[in-house]
Structure 1
């Protein structure tokens, strides 16, 4: 049995909990911030023995502007490279693409009840975030943003 109070305690212990959200399709739904200014949803769907981690990201106008000016081959190579990269993170994802340009991406992962430990829980949050970061960095790298540096 996945215990909501245990999950809430872990999130509070790590100072990640931003809010609890009502969701009629879930036993509980937490909005967390990890790291600062990055939002991830953590949901325990009703009638399921798992927790789902989800991070939806709208591609910024700055990044869309970089993609618009690229040639078709560069755009297609980017989507292929993005798919390969995300597969390496062992997460589930959905890419919303329009005119060969990434518009939005949703990264999800889940932990089933029998694998739920605090260690696995925190590692899953980090994996989802790093998958998102991979997408953003790859846009910057592939479309040659002159001000891009992954080290800040």
Structure 2
């Protein structure tokens, strides 16, 4: 996954995390009734206990997620990421060369993000941009509406007017997370990638630049 795309995602995670921290601090002050003294100490002790419980749960879920990837034969690698506590790479389907990132953001203690994307081949991008604006808008609006009601979020980068990359993100909260839900989410992100690839191939042909299953192909991130 390209660094620039992941930075955009982490900025959003961090902004939401800071907002929740401020809300939590305000709630804590309201519960204690005053600042300082034994009430403040009790609040801090309670918050420390909650953080320890969340960290313990997070560590257990990280272990489970890695085990699930290994069990399904799609675990590829673990990478160092300054914005994540844990960052795994999955290859879906196995040995296909198509990679999906499994990310536990540092700024979020309560979720795992499943992230991947498709970069249009130079030929497909050029042919899409060569269409009349009305026809190009019709294609892209249909793609957006088809993706809109899926649990997986998406972005078109750098813009819908100049579509070069289709980015997909599925966020799974730890509450209720199990293997069935996790693997289905991974598979859905993969299907979103296929949707873009097959749409381009249907429109512009099944050329060599877009049919390769290699992660090094320009069609894949």
Cα gap change, 1:68 to 1:127, in 2 (>3 Å): same
Describe the superposition over 1:9-56 as per-residue Cα deviations: whole angstroms up to 9, x where unpaired: 111111111110112222210011102121110011124210000002
- TM-score normalised by structure 2 residue count: 0.61
Superposed displacement of residue 62, structure 1: 2.5
CA distance in 1, matches of 2:69, 2:85: 17
Q: Secondary structure at the match of 1:114?
A: coil
Greater strand content: 1
Aligned residue number for residue 6 of structure 1:
64
Superposed displacement of residue 99, structure 1: 8.2
Q: Secondary structure at the match of 1:115?
A: coil
Shifted more, 34-43 versus 58-67: the winner is 58-67
CA contact (8 A) 1:67 1:101 kept: no
CA distance in 2, matches of 1:98, 1:49: 30
CA contact (8 A) 1:54 1:109 kept: yes
The RMSD of aligned alpha carbons is 2.0
Aligned residue number for residue 20 of structure 1:
78
Greater helix content: 2
Q: Which runs of 5+ in 2 are unaligned?
A: 1-56, 208-221
Larger radius of gyration: 2
Q: Secondary structure at the match of 2:181?
A: helix
**Where has structure 1 moved over 4 Å in runs of 4 or more?**
none
Q: Secondary structure at the match of 1:24?
A: coil
Query: Do structure 1's residue 145 and structure 2's residue 145 form an aligned pair?
Result: no
